[in-house]
Amino acid sequence: MPHKRHTQFKKPDGGLYSEQLVSTEGFSNVYSLIYHCHPPTAVKKIDEPIDVTPKVVTNKNMQHRCYNGFAVKPENDFIQSRKAVLVNADVHIVLAAPKKSATKYFYKNSDADEVIFVHEGAGVLKSIFGELKFGYGDYIVIPRGTIYQIHFDGPDNRLFIVESFTPIVYPKRYRNDFGQLLEHAPFCERDIRAPKNLETIDKKGDFLVYIKKQGMLYPYHYAYHPFDAIGWDGCHYPYIFSIHDFEPITGRVHQPPPVHQTFEAHNFVICSFVPRMYDYHPKAIPAPYNHSNVDSDEVLYYVDGDFMSRKHVERGMITLHPIGIPHGPHPGTVEKSIGAKETKELAVMVDTFKPLWLTEQAFDIENPDYHKSWL
């Protein structure tokens, strides 16, 4: 890296490296400076775009819903494997079971930051910033505009993907004025894994990048390999936070869901429910109370362990408890929870402040009688 930014940075052959500023909110928020072997602008051709807009069946839902996430069919291709189930203007919740690594093309989401929660499988996410090794329980956070390739170790992969149309950040109440995570936060900088092993691929050819924008995939052919950086610095890059590194906040009596909050964006939050000791007041009821979420749709994705407040829960299941009606523990589970010392549950929750719309893919995997399961 040159000592000063925006100055000459020469290659061994005397030519210049190509500097690129990747900036967000215009020039007002986080950014990175990347030094490429070749300009990132050398487009050879653009093929016809492909429409991948989720097929919304209804944007008006007033019913508790339950989906069998693992009923989503595995697909060889990473992009085709992505099935949007619950969407609105702020967020898309997507399930995917890709069998093969994406090696023939690159992918860039220009619409949304992506949080890829790895339920099953392991591998490496490659980008111009370096490599991120991922496995069970990792949240891979990929800021929009990042060209990446996902490589899997094997064919059995289950991903729960959140596409956020505004930046994914840590909760504001856990950050000081300089952005550092505070002492009472359930995780800290040491838990965040940044890209490593930067490999500079200086190659000329035809490199296909599927760029997603406004629900369309634009097949761009570039003349140089997208991972041609010799170096970069800055605060805009993909990273990983593992759900297993989330330190649960517990209390004498039932703690509200915000103690599980991990990320936030405009109009929604992502929370992590992890194994933890139960409430320790002598008369505590560990199971949650009935709850009328007056102004958020609550989505719970069940990962592992047993789920104390629900019956018949399987791994990969999604429940949606919408704005407008109360939800609560299933009959018998409140009494059963009394005296329990700990839970092994692992789940990811997405609470949206605007109603979610249900897609064709959601109806395909729905358990239709769930709304009567409290009888």
Q: Report in angstroms the alpha-carbon separations of 94 from 114, 257, 282.
A: 10, 22, 41
Closest to 21 measured CA to CA, from 10, 31, 11: 31
Q: Which is nearer to Fe ion, 352 or 361 (CB)?
A: 352
CA atoms within 13 A on the CB side of 37: 17
For Fe ion, which residue has the nearest CB?
A: 291
Amino acid code (one letter) for 219: P
Q: Which is nearer to Fe ion, 221 or 291 (CB)?
A: 291
Q: Which is nearer to Fe ion, 243 or 320 (CB)?
A: 320
Number of amino acids touching Fe ion (CB under 5 A): 2
CB of residue 298 to Fe ion, shortest distance in Å? 5
By CB under 5 A, what part of segment 166-195 binds Fe ion? none
3-state secondary structure 142-168: ECCCCEEEEEECCCCCEEEEEEECCCC
Q: Which is nearer to Fe ion, 114 or 351 (CB)?
A: 351
d(CA 116, CA 78): 12
Q: Which is nearer to Fe ion, 228 or 298 (CB)?
A: 298
Q: How far is CA 46 from the centre of its chain?
A: 28
**What are the structure tokens assigned to 374, written together?**
């409290």
Closest to 202 measured CA to CA, from 374, 39, 23: 39
Q: Which is nearer to Fe ion, 220 or 307 (CB)?
A: 307
CB of residue 246 to Fe ion, shortest distance in Å? 19
Q: Which is nearer to Fe ion, 245 or 298 (CB)?
A: 298
Q: What is the x/- site pattern for Fe ion, positions 272-311, by CB under 5 A? A: -------------------x------x-------------
CB of residue 337 to Fe ion, shortest distance in Å? 16
Which stretch of DSSP H or E encloses residue 337? helix 333-337
CB of residue 293 to Fe ion, shortest distance in Å? 5
d(CA 180, CA 202): 36
Q: What is the x/- site pattern for Fe ion, positions 200-229, by CB under 5 A? A: ------------------------------
CB of residue 161 to Fe ion, shortest distance in Å? 22
Q: Which is nearer to Fe ion, 225 or 310 (CB)?
A: 310
DSSP symbols for 354-369:
SPPEEEHHHHHTB-TT
CB of residue 352 to Fe ion, shortest distance in Å? 13
Q: Which is nearer to Fe ion, 66 or 97 (CB)?
A: 66
Residue 218, classed as helix, strand or coil, is: strand
CB of residue 84 to Fe ion, shortest distance in Å? 23
Closest to 41 measured CA to CA, from 223, 205, 202: 223
Q: Does 254 bind Fe ion (CB under 5 A)?
A: no
Kindly report the number of other CB atoms within 10 A of residue 145's CB atom: 15
Residue 344, classed as helix, strand or coil, is: coil
> What backbone torsions phi and psi does residue 129 show, to the nearest 5 degrees?
-85, -10
CB of residue 295 to Fe ion, shortest distance in Å? 12
CB of residue 63 to Fe ion, shortest distance in Å? 16
Task: For tokens 């909110």, name the residue.
Answer: 25
> What backbone torsions phi and psi does residue 282 show, to the nearest 5 degrees?
-55, -25
Give the interface with Fe ion as residue ranges (CB under 5 A): 291, 298
